[in-house]
Structure 1
Amino acid sequence: MKKMWAGRTSGKTDQIADDFNSSIRFDQRMYPEDITGSIAHAKMLAKQGIIPEEASAKIIAGLEGILADLNSGKLEIDPAAEDIHMFIEETLTDRIGQDGKMLHTARSRNDQVALDIRLYMREENGQIKQLLKDLVAALCDQAEKYKASLMPGYTHLQRAQPVTFGHQLMAYAYMFMRDLERLGQMEERMNYSPIGSCALAGTTYPIDRVYEAELLGFKAPVANSLDGVSDRDHVVEDLSDLALVMMHLSRLSEELILWSSWEFHFVRLADAYTTGSSIMPQKKNPDMAELARGKTGRVYGDLMAILTTLKGLPLAYNKDMQEDKEALFDAIDNVELCLETFIPMIKTLEANEKAMHQAAQKGFINATDLADYLTKKGMPFRDAYHISGQLVALCIDQDTVLEDLPLETYKGYSDLFEEDLYQAIDLHNCLAKRTSLGGPTPESVQKQVDEVRGKLAEEN
């Protein structure tokens, strides 16, 4: 097959070199974006009188036919083609004749691929943002359901202070809301059209970059033609944002894995999102959460790959930049797959409220409240802290909890203890007293749920 770029050279390359150079196996997914960009380009060329109106109309009709045939499966992409851009141009010329060769006027593959990537990212970004909204909505529903379900909050993976399961879930809802915000900000910075930058230095044709940008839904053209073909900041930023999404999913995965174990037994994952063991019939493995945790490293690798690829490149386009697509596509695919799995997994999750409450009691997470009780009666905090620690040690020795120690035992440590101490250390009261903004009370959790739902409504 004669190469479209043959001229300066014979266009003949070794088969191994052809395979090495080709990107059709992965960039073929951008065919809708490539055709969309080409239709806009054909309209601009005709508007500016660079090509005849009749040729533009034939080109547009031909491109629309190719798109329909690719969507239906009537037309198959040739794996021997160099890339998706050349495949579409060659197919167009085969179908409509010489007019098809006019399409590439005032355009280079450099700005063409830069455009396709932005269009593709914009489409996928919209899908990922919707998945994030759906995940946050599922977290809000569960948080509202379990807003009063007491559980121990942890530091250093040690039981620390009382929270609710709803409060814990809302922490993740806010993380994913920040991811949603970051992706929106990235999209705004990306929303500039590189088409018309050509190879690097623009063109001598009287093109209208503003018109073409408007046709494609961009805010404006990229202001510098060198930057237009050299810039992949949006790819790096998108991968960084997706890495953060995965980091948050991984942290949630880790807790789901711990919470669903018999050692915690805080949550039950639906059978649809677990697997069994090939040899141990009692097992119910949280494989979906483990896979998401594992895929996080893969998305991190995609980010590091593109950063490393770009770090030493001179302006403008270099073939190294072909490597941006596989990393980007891989990250997008894996983030979407993880989110699609997590949404129903969260929706069907059930909390074991009894196990959570028992863990809260055995964790002595009301020890700080016991110390505060003495402090409010006039004892210096450090002395109160010391006595509270001694009483916890006593409970551990006697396999009991602070709530069950008799008043006489308490008075052996301080005469300040009275009958009202049991009200002070009741776990639900300990929770209810944490009324500071953003705290774990059921009322506070409901406010958080309402706030996040309001933000989701604004996004929609």
Structure 2
Amino acid sequence: MKLWQGRFQKGTSSITEDFNSSIAVDQRMYREDILGSMAHARMLGECGIIPGEDSVLIINGLQSILEDADKGLLEFTVEAEDIHMNVETLLIERIGEAGKRLHTGRSRNDQVALDFRMYMKKGTREVEDMVLDLLRVILDLAKEHKDTIMAGYTHLQKAQPVTLGHHLMAYFQMFSRDLTRFIDSEKRMDHMPLGSGALAGTTYPIDRYMVAAELGFGKITENSMDGVSDRDFALEFLGASSILMMHLSRFCEEIIIWNSNEFGYVEMDDAFSTGSSIMPQKKNPDIAELVRGKTGRVYGDLVALLTIMKGLPLAYNKDMQEDKETTFDALDTVKACLAAFTPMLSTATFNKDRMMEKLRGGFLNATDAADYLVMQGVPFRSAHEVIGRMVNYCIINGKALDDLSQDELTSFSDKFGNDILEFIKMENCLQRRKTYGGPSSAAMDTAIDNARNFIESIESLKY
């Protein structure tokens, strides 16, 4: 018999039971549900709302259910609809009439809001730890390749010389912002909704602060209707996850390109690559491709929940049962992607010689050649035009700027001195870029120090 059956004169159809049930999705919140119920029962007893002996009996019964659930000894049923009713049904079976007092002063509406927040607080912290691990790997690689010169690109065309370390530190910045987004979103998850009731609170003299303290919440929700109908915390998690996945996807796209024979910048470790069933020579960057593909899945989860929530009147509506499937899918996907991507990156081998070889042919020092003329008093636009003609001349004659003789150089401008070829060497072009945030060794030292300080500040905050 359903715990809510009193209003009804006939049983529910098996179709309704299957369609209405959420236990297949929300059973993963059994620990949060039980711990929340234990805190609620303790509060009911302390406040004299239920007899103290019943409170103790309920807490002990819930503890036994938790232990059995942890051991995998329980089988949750569709008939009990969701994790909340499954746990309550088991409790009543184990301790009898006292178990029926557990639901005093609460509703499944505020109960599920509590469980969901507790579960996502834990999940968000797990993601934060995994992003922090990725940041450590990127920082180590950036230090290792601080002086590994490579071509920087715009429009996927060679642009100016940078270093691999500088390139990697761009992703450090992206993922550091992702980490702070998750940490920031966790602050708004940290509001305890239990006590909101179905939508209008409760007439019982409950102590919401007591429950919040036991469950590790810093605050309680301010409005009972918002308390049961708010899913902003899930949407924020999905938003932060989508941006994180976008950054991972961009990184994966570059790894896939760099891994190609045409580039040859990186070799993936055998443990994080796969082969072809028909082409024996193939070594495919499947992890990077899968992360890139799964990004769309997380985007879909965000759009799905936004769409579910966009037309709902206050307060709780059954549509919101769909919130957990999308959010849990994104959580699982993000964790799986980070768990695969981080070791894939840490074991990759970067081909420094290939990167140096590829510096030729793209006129990456053309801007510096123009800057040289500017330093001799030539207006930048005029210098730009001179170097443009020089590049065109080099293309026609199959040369690089470095290959031009002094006579050829001065035929374009008499401002070119004997020091021009030394000036436009790739190493010198790179080291002159000393501006804060630039790729020179000095600027990179500062960036690496800042990154290390950022990681240490997060570690001190979390641990």
Q: Same fold (TM over 0.5)?
A: yes
- In structure 2, what is the equivalent of residue 327 of structure 1? 326
> Separation in 2 of the partners of 1:281 and 1:391?
46
> Separation in 1 of the partners of 2:448 and 2:247?
19
- In structure 2, what is the equivalent of residue 228 of structure 1? 227
Verify: 1:299 aligned to 2:276, yes or no.
Answer: no
Which secondary structure state, in structure 1, belongs to the residue aligned with residue 358 of structure 2?
helix
* RMSD after superposition: 1.2
> Separation in 1 of the partners of 2:104 and 2:5?
16
- In structure 2, what is the equivalent of residue 211 of structure 1? 210
What one-letter code is carried by the residue in structure 1 that aligns with 2:382? D
- In structure 1, what is the equivalent of residue 431 of structure 2? 432
Structure 1: gaps of 5 or more residues: none
User: Retained in 2: the 8 A contact 1:28–1:84?
Assistant: yes
User: Structure 1 stretch 104-113 or stretch 385-394: which is displaced more?
Assistant: 385-394
- In structure 2, what is the equivalent of residue 246 of structure 1? 245
- In structure 2, what is the equivalent of residue 10 of structure 1? 9
TM-fit CA distance, 1:151: 0.8
Which secondary structure state, in structure 2, belongs to the residue aligned with residue 106 of structure 1?
coil
Which secondary structure state, in structure 2, belongs to the residue aligned with residue 7 of structure 1?
helix
User: Structure 1 stretch 405-414 or stretch 301-310: which is displaced more?
Assistant: 405-414
User: Structure 1 stretch 73-82 or stretch 366-375: which is displaced more?
Assistant: 73-82
What one-letter code is carried by the residue in structure 2 that aligns with 1:4? L
> Separation in 2 of the partners of 1:78 and 1:14?
15
User: Retained in 2: the 8 A contact 1:163–1:431?
Assistant: yes
Which secondary structure state, in structure 1, belongs to the residue aligned with residue 6 of structure 2?
coil
What one-letter code is carried by the residue in structure 2 that aligns with 1:342? F
> Separation in 2 of the partners of 1:300 and 1:11?
42
Which secondary structure state, in structure 1, belongs to the residue aligned with residue 412 of structure 2?
coil
- In structure 2, what is the equivalent of residue 347 of structure 1? 346
User: Structure 1 stretch 261-270 or stretch 191-200: which is displaced more?
Assistant: 261-270
Deviation digits for residues 89-143 of structure 1, max 9, x if unmatched? Answer: 1111111111111111101000000000000000001100000000011000000
What one-letter code is carried by the residue in structure 2 that aligns with 1:421? I
Deviation digits for residues 342-396 of structure 1, max 9, x if unmatched? Answer: 1101111221111111222221110000111112112222222122122222322
Which secondary structure state, in structure 1, belongs to the residue aligned with residue 242 of structure 2?
helix
- In structure 2, what is the equivalent of residue 45 of structure 1? 44
What one-letter code is carried by the residue in structure 1 that aligns with 2:108? R
TM-fit CA distance, 1:422: 1.1
> Separation in 1 of the partners of 2:187 and 2:350?
39
> Separation in 2 of the partners of 1:282 and 1:394?
41
User: Retained in 2: the 8 A contact 1:27–1:325?
Assistant: yes
Alignment of 1:176-187 (within 5 A): 176-187=175-186
- In structure 2, what is the equivalent of residue 113 of structure 1? 112
User: Retained in 1: the 8 A contact 2:146–2:163?
Assistant: yes
Alignment of 1:74-223 (within 5 A): 74-223=73-222
What one-letter code is carried by the residue in structure 1 that aligns with 2:325? E
Which secondary structure state, in structure 1, belongs to the residue aligned with residue 342 of structure 2?
helix
- In structure 1, what is the equivalent of residue 30 of structure 2? 31
User: Does 1 or 2 have the higher relative contact order (CA < 8 Å, sep 6+)?
Assistant: 1
> Separation in 2 of the partners of 1:157 and 1:454?
33
> Separation in 2 of the partners of 1:11 and 1:111?
27
Which secondary structure state, in structure 2, belongs to the residue aligned with residue 178 of structure 1?
helix
> Separation in 2 of the partners of 1:215 and 1:287?
45
Which secondary structure state, in structure 2, belongs to the residue aligned with residue 33 of structure 1?
helix
Could you list the structure 1 runs, at least 4 aligned residues long, displaced by more than 4 angstroms after superposition: none
User: Retained in 1: the 8 A contact 2:65–2:91?
Assistant: yes
Verify: 1:315 aligned to 2:314, yes or no.
Answer: yes
Verify: 1:283 aligned to 2:285, yes or no.
Answer: no
Structure 2: gaps of 5 or more residues: none
User: Does the C-alpha gap of structure 1 residues 74 and 361 become closer, same or farther in structure 2, counting only changes over 3 Å?
Assistant: same
Normalised by the size of structure 2, how large is the TM-score? 0.97
Verify: 1:57 aligned to 2:56, yes or no.
Answer: yes
TM-fit CA distance, 1:257: 0.7
What one-letter code is carried by the residue in structure 1 that aligns with 2:391? V
What one-letter code is carried by the residue in structure 1 that aligns with 2:164? F
What one-letter code is carried by the residue in structure 2 that aligns with 1:92? L
TM-fit CA distance, 1:80: 4.2
Instruction: Percent identity, please.
Output: 53
- In structure 2, what is the equivalent of residue 459 of structure 1? 458
> Separation in 1 of the partners of 2:279 and 2:82?
49
Give aligned pairs, total. Answer: 459
What one-letter code is carried by the residue in structure 2 that aligns with 1:445? M
Deviation digits for residues 228-258 of structure 1, max 9, x if unmatched? Answer: 1011111111110110110110111111111
> Separation in 2 of the partners of 1:282 and 1:411?
50
- In structure 2, what is the equivalent of residue 337 of structure 1? 336
User: Retained in 2: the 8 A contact 1:257–1:290?
Assistant: yes
What one-letter code is carried by the residue in structure 2 that aligns with 1:298? R
User: Retained in 1: the 8 A contact 2:2–2:80?
Assistant: no
User: Retained in 1: the 8 A contact 2:200–2:225?
Assistant: yes
TM-fit CA distance, 1:423: 1.3
User: Retained in 1: the 8 A contact 2:21–2:78?
Assistant: no
TM-fit CA distance, 1:187: 0.8
- In structure 2, what is the equivalent of residue 393 of structure 1? 392
TM-fit CA distance, 1:39: 0.7
User: Retained in 1: the 8 A contact 2:18–2:78?
Assistant: no
> Separation in 2 of the partners of 1:109 and 1:229?
9
What one-letter code is carried by the residue in structure 2 that aligns with 1:160? A
> Separation in 2 of the partners of 1:102 and 1:457?
48
Deviation digits for residues 54-91 of structure 1, max 9, x if unmatched? Answer: 11111111111111111112223334431111111111
TM-fit CA distance, 1:6: 0.6
> Separation in 1 of the partners of 2:9 and 2:257?
62
What one-letter code is carried by the residue in structure 2 that aligns with 1:218? F
User: Does the C-alpha gap of structure 1 residues 185 and 207 become closer, same or farther in structure 2, counting only changes over 3 Å?
Assistant: same
